[in-house]
Amino acid sequence: MTDFTYVKGSDGVATITWDVPGKSMNVMSLAGFAELDAHIDTALADPTVKGVIITSGKADFAGGMDLNVIARMKEEGGAQAAKAVFDGVMAMHVILRKIERAGMDPKTLKGGKPIVAALPGTGLGIGLELPLACHRIFVADNPKARIGLPEIMVGIFPGGGGTTRLVRKLGAMAAAPFLLEGKLSDPKAAKAAGIIDEVVPSADLLTRARAWVLAASDADLVKPWDAKGYKMPGGTPYHPAGFMTFVGASAMVLGQTMGVYPAAKALLSAVYEGAMVPFDTALKIEARWFTSVMMNPSSGAMIRSLFINKGALEKGANRPDAPDQTVKKLGVIGAGMMGAGIAYVAANAGIAVVLVDATQEAADRGKAHSEGILDKGIARRKVTVEKKAEVLARITATTDYAALAGCDLIVEAVFEDPKVKAAVTAKVEAAVGADCIFATNTSTLPITELARASTHPDQFIGIHFFSPVDKMALVEIIRGKATGARAVAKALDFVRQIRKTPIVVNDARFFYANRCIIPYLNEGARLLAEGVEPALIENAAKLVGMPLGPLQLVDETSIDLGVKIAKATKAAMGADYPDDTSDAVLFWMADQGRLGRKNGAGFYAYDAQGKRTGLWEGLEAHFPHASPQPDLTEVQHRLLFAQVLEAVRALEDGVLTDIREGDVGAILGWGFAPWSGGPFSWLDMIGAARAVEICDGLTVTHGPRFTAPALLRDMASKGEQFYTRFAATPKAA
């Protein structure tokens, strides 16, 4: 098995082709790096080789580094883990630096061999860091290609020289969006930004690369930072312009990350410190900060949830054994906000969609939603006019249930009313074949109850999308009591087709995500009722990495929806209902006509354009500030434990069957502090014993909703962690 092959052309140009066997996308492994190194040595040692092209045998260049490798480096290092990671990273720097210097005399900078990168498509992470070490980067004119360094998105930063090289190439300010936000670009935008050198027609990629190699002069091979008199674009930290950049960048990073993401801070340090020293020292600094990030539990947890486990779930880790269930024709019933979004994502993924509503006007409005999204895509040059026509042609908007004939999956998204849903189920089943799977997008009604309306309850399932459907990555699949394996497989295959991330949970009130987010919102309202300053509530949440404070989140989802859910839940739970205190806050807000962002008035005030202008001043009159105010940590504990205890209870109750789904679902579903890797990763980080201790304290002061679940107590007594106790989660049935 070889990842790289080496072919020497009769013109003296050697081509190293990256083509990892058995994978659709190249990823870099340690073995791959060693092979590449050996081929570079061969080329540099062979006097008949004039230069080298590094390219890919696949449609794309590379998706990045196999992060499992770095995680393993750390594990295998044992007590010397940091040293193992640092040495491993430095070994990569040595190879990339060898490519960059290409055998040239370090004094005269002459005599090197040109080495170019020729990318047929996407180059991400190390798939761009390797090209950045080459002397010229050619990318095929492939608008689908994505070029960039997305490492920050999984809690690390580019540690293969990408940080140091991009900053020296573009300057700290210009490199910031690519490093700090992981911004990806198509080839033309990447060229405009100065990241790559040439965009060429696909068919000419290798010819153009070859011509450059054969014509390159000594001077063409010298990187600006290796040339005498190099000055960093935009200035180094002690240059007046550079000073402004770095001061601004520090403030911006802290403002965006609230200081909870170690990678962003480490990245900035690597850039700042690296800017003041020679290039090779800067690489060493980059490697040290990279190691420090790798050793931080937050990064390990983020990689585990957002890269390894997210990927495993998307590949069907919990898919039951069942034949391929790829959806060919989808029926969507209800063309409202959710149905229209579901129709769009399916049609966009190439699936034929019949979109049914009670009136033709409503059905057409649902289809127009797709048109709107596609038009925005065209305006941003992400979508072509042809693509728009293709996607729209796949959607048939109608009132006629007969058009559903031949559908193999139905997703129902009509009003949240069991009677309406039951009538729709019967009507659909009369129109479709006996083996069609029926899914409901309900957010609150038990699947098992809704399945009673079906003549095939084993083919009845919940597929719960989040709003807005085209943006939200998570889809929650809910098994009712009678749901069969084929229905689960169908739902998972569908989610895979539309390129979202699935979790599979069992049926219970609010399933998983809403079950955990509601207590967070309620805790926010309770704090307010107790006289805690709203700014403290909101900032406490943000400072612990929640993207939105609880009050803002209620505003976004709307206060009347909260009132509706609260009333329905109370009616269903009766005397056990625990949330009267927070309901009083919501009901009062609704009585004031403050329904949230949608009517420009909620916990926040909004201007005429709908922009938030600050917390609503009327809150203080109705909820006078208590004195003294609680300390920040206590507020944070209340807000976090409200969520994580519910996640633990969902696991205890068997709603969750896999903690990986609990963590991935929490981050993607409601934005649970991504730096933590999710609720279970966070509990592992602080330890079950400490978690129980905090819960016991909160129970005394704030009541039994903080009682530590038996599972957590048991783990505390045994010194266990979730990721060890539940390491071998059995495959779901």
CB of 358 to ligand NAD, least distance (A): 4
**Contact between 510 and ligand NAD (CB under 6 A)?**
no
The number of beta carbons lying within 10 Å of the beta carbon of residue 400 is 12
Count of residues touching ligand NAD (by CB under 6 A): 23
The binder of ligand NAD chosen from 114, 339, 462, 678 (CB under 6 A): 339
Other CB atoms within a 10 A radius of the CB of residue 141 amount to 17
In the residue annotation, 464 being an active-site residue is answered as yes
Shortest gap between Cβ of 340 and ligand NAD (angstroms)? 7
**Residue with smaller CB distance to ligand NAD, 95 or 354:** 354
- Among 154, 287, 356, 404, which residue interacts with ligand NAD (rule: CB under 6 A)? 356
> Among 580, 608, 605, which Cα is nearest to 594's?
605
Q: Is the peptide bond before 262 cis (omega within 30 degrees of 0)?
A: no
Q: Which is nearer to ligand NAD, 30 or 420 (CB)?
A: 420
Which stretch, 299-307, 309-317, 351-359, 478-486, contacts ligand NAD (CB under 6 A)?
351-359
Interface with ligand NAD (CB under 6 A), residue from 57, 259, 297, 336 = 336
- Residue 360 touches ligand NAD, criterion: CB under 6 A: no
> Which one-letter DSSP state was computed for residue 103?
T
Nearer to ligand NAD, 52 or 356 (CB): 356
Token pair listed for 499: 């390129």
> Distance between CA 256 and CA 264 in Å, rounded?
10
For ligand NAD, which is the closer residue by CB, 87 or 449? 449
Within residues 208-227, the interface with ligand NAD by CB under 6 A covers: none
Report H helices in 259-336: 262-274, 279-295, 297-302, 310-314
Residue 364 touches ligand NAD, criterion: CB under 6 A = no
> Minimal CA–CA distance to 639: which of 703, 706, 701?
706
Closest CA relative to residue 371, chosen from 358, 387, 353, 351: 387
Which residue number, 175 or 355, has a Cβ lying nearer to ligand NAD?
Answer: 355
Site for ligand NAD in 409-428 (CB under 6 A): 413-416, 420, 424
d(CA 237, CA 232): 10
For position 334 contacting ligand NAD by CB under 6 A, the verdict is yes
Residue numbers 514-553 binding ligand NAD by CB under 6 A: none
Cis peptide before 628 (omega within 30 of 0): yes
> In the complex, what is the shortest distance from the CB of residue 417 to ligand NAD, in angstroms, rounded to a whole number?
8
Site of tokens 């909004």? 606
- In this chain, which stretch among 36-44, 83-91, 353-361, 503-511 interacts with ligand NAD, using CB under 6 A? 353-361
Q: State yes or no: residue 82 binds ligand NAD (CB under 6 A).
A: no
The answer to the question of residue 465 lying near ligand NAD (CB under 6 A) is yes
Task: Rule CB under 6 A: choose which of 84, 147, 149, 335 binds ligand NAD.
Answer: 335
String marking each residue 159-188 x if it binds ligand NAD according to CB under 6 A: ------------------------------
d(CA 635, CA 470): 33
- From candidates 358, 368, 605, 711, binder to ligand NAD by CB under 6 A: 358
Strand partners for 5: 17
Cβ partners under 8 Å of residue 614, min gap 6: 604, 605
Sign of the dihedral through C-alpha 310, 314, 315, 319: positive
Judged by CB under 6 A, the stretch of 228-236, 271-279, 357-365, 710-718 that binds ligand NAD is 357-365
- 444 vs 581, beta carbon nearer ligand NAD: 444
**Contacting ligand NAD (CB under 6 A), which of 172, 184, 195, 362?**
362
**Among 60, 66, 357, 555, interactor with ligand NAD by CB under 6 A:** 357
Q: Does 596 bind ligand NAD (CB under 6 A)?
A: no
Cβ distance 454 to 483 under 8 Å?
no
Residue 729: burial class (beta carbons within 10 Å; 0-12, 13-18, 19+): middle
Residue 25 near residue 60 (C-beta atoms within 8 A)? yes
Task: Name the residue nearer to ligand NAD (CB basis): 198 or 560.
Answer: 560
Q: Which two tokens stand for residue 708?
A: 């530590």
> In 592-721, which ranges are continuous DSSP H helix?
618-622, 632-652, 659-670, 679-686, 688-702, 710-718
Q: Which of residues 675-704 bind ligand NAD (CB under 6 A)?
A: none
SS3 464: strand
Nearer to ligand NAD, 320 or 671 (CB): 671
Which CB sits closer to ligand NAD, 399 or 539?
Answer: 399
The answer to whether 504 touches 434, Cβ cutoff 8 Å, is no
Contact stretch for ligand NAD (CB under 6 A) within 71-79, 258-266, 332-340, 629-637: 332-340
Q: Which is nearer to ligand NAD, 294 or 362 (CB)?
A: 362
With H, G, I as helix, E, B as strand and everything else as coil, classify residue 474.
Answer: strand
Choose which of 104, 337, 352, 685 interacts with ligand NAD (CB under 6 A).
Answer: 337
User: Mind giving me the DSSP string for 540-558?
Assistant: HHHHTT-SS-HHHHHHHH-
Instruction: Note whether 647 and 666 are within 8 A (CB).
Output: yes
- Chain-centroid distance, C-alpha 628: 39
Give the nearest residue (CB) to ligand NAD.
336
How far is 179 from 151, CA to CA, in rounded Å?
8
Stretch that binds ligand NAD, among 87-95, 116-124, 408-416, 708-716 (CB under 6 A): 408-416
* Separation between Cα atoms, residue 499 and residue 351, nearest integer Å: 12
Q: Which residue number, 304 or 464, has a Cβ lying nearer to ligand NAD?
A: 464
The structure tokens 């949240």 sit at 416
Chosen residue from 292, 443, 448, 501 binding ligand NAD by CB under 6 A: 443
Q: Is 442 in the site for ligand NAD (CB under 6 A)?
A: yes
Select from 52, 62, 333, 513 the one that contacts ligand NAD (CB under 6 A): 333
Paired tokens of 56: 């890919």
Minimum CB distance to ligand NAD smaller for 362 or for 491: 362
The only residue of 467, 633, 701, 724 in contact with ligand NAD, by rule CB under 6 A: 467
193 binds ligand NAD (CB under 6 A): no
User: Shortest approach of ligand NAD to residue 505 CB, angstroms?
Assistant: 14
Shortest reach from residue 590's CB to ligand NAD, in Å: 18
Distance from C-alpha of 577 to C-alpha of 67, rounded to nearest angstrom: 45
Long-range contacts of 572-576 (CB under 8 A, 24+ apart): 572/509
| CB contact at 8 A, 2 and 26 | no
Span near ligand NAD by CB under 6 A; candidates 247-255, 334-342, 449-457, 606-614: 334-342
As measured in angstroms, the least distance from the Cβ of 564 to ligand NAD is 10
Closer residue to ligand NAD in complex, CB, 204/416: 416
Selected catalytic residue, list 39, 135, 464, 702: 464
| SS3 state at 707 | coil
Burial 71-88 (b: 16+ CB within 10 A, else e): bebbeebeeebeebbbeb
Report, in Å, the least distance between residue 580 CB and ligand NAD.
Answer: 24
Give the Cα separation of 196 and 199 in Å (integer): 8
In whole angstroms, the minimum distance from the beta carbon of 553 to ligand NAD comes to 13
DSSP-derived 3-state class of residue 560: helix
Return phi, psi of residue 234, to 5°. Answer: 85, -10
**Which residues lie near ligand NAD (CB under 6 A)?**
333-339, 356-358, 362, 413-416, 420, 424, 441-443, 464-465, 467
Enzyme catalytic residues: 464
